[in-house]
Amino acid sequence: MSDPVNTTPPPAAPPPAAPPPPARSPMSSMMASLSQSELLVVAGAALLVLGDLVFGVLLRDFYAGDLIWIGAALALLAFWLHRRGSWGLPMRFDTTLMVLGAIVGLIGARDLIIELYFVLRNLDDLPSATYLLGLVAWAIGIVAMAVGAWQLYRGRGAVA
């Protein structure tokens, strides 16, 4: 009598465990907590403040205006307070960003028309390249804040 040959394969080893996800930097987790609209307002505000520091303070070639700078700085302050968890204002965070973005957008649109009129009127004597770079950074920051504010408004329906 012969032993029957066992033809069943041995049980397979379990698959190796998945590697742990990479640690997120504080900046990426901070930005991931924002909606796209909030990110547009905060990034536009950061570009306005940074652009004014570079082209206005360091190079002394472009001046963005006090009201726009204050609106951008207040948006960054609201973001910082919201991230720290010490938001104690009676207005919601997204409403604050929406209002500040709208104010900067309206004032910036008026100022942008004036600046473009100045540049296009004097095509014979163009401003310096740093002035034009400051103007471009300023315009992008204003548009980003205004579009983010509009998206925040559209995303919530009627403002409560």
Q: What is the pLDDT along the chain (160 residues), one digit of tens a residue?
A: 555 666 777 777 777 777 766 666 655 666 677 889 999 999 999 999 999 999 988 988 888 788 999 999 999 999 998 888 876 777 888 899 999 999 999 999 999 999 999 888 988 888 888 999 999 999 999 999 999 999 999 986 444 4
Amino acid identity of 17?
A
Q: 114-143 burial, b if ≥16 CB within 10 A, otherwise e?
A: ebeeeeeeeeeeeeeeebebbbebbbebbb
Q: What is the count of structural domains for the chain?
A: 1
32 in a domain, yes or no? no
129 in a domain, yes or no? yes
68 in a domain, yes or no? yes
11 in a domain, yes or no? no
119 in a domain, yes or no? yes
108 in a domain, yes or no? yes
The CB density around residue 78, as the number of other CB atoms within 10 Å, is 23
111 in a domain, yes or no? yes
Q: What residues make up the domain containing 111?
A: 59-155
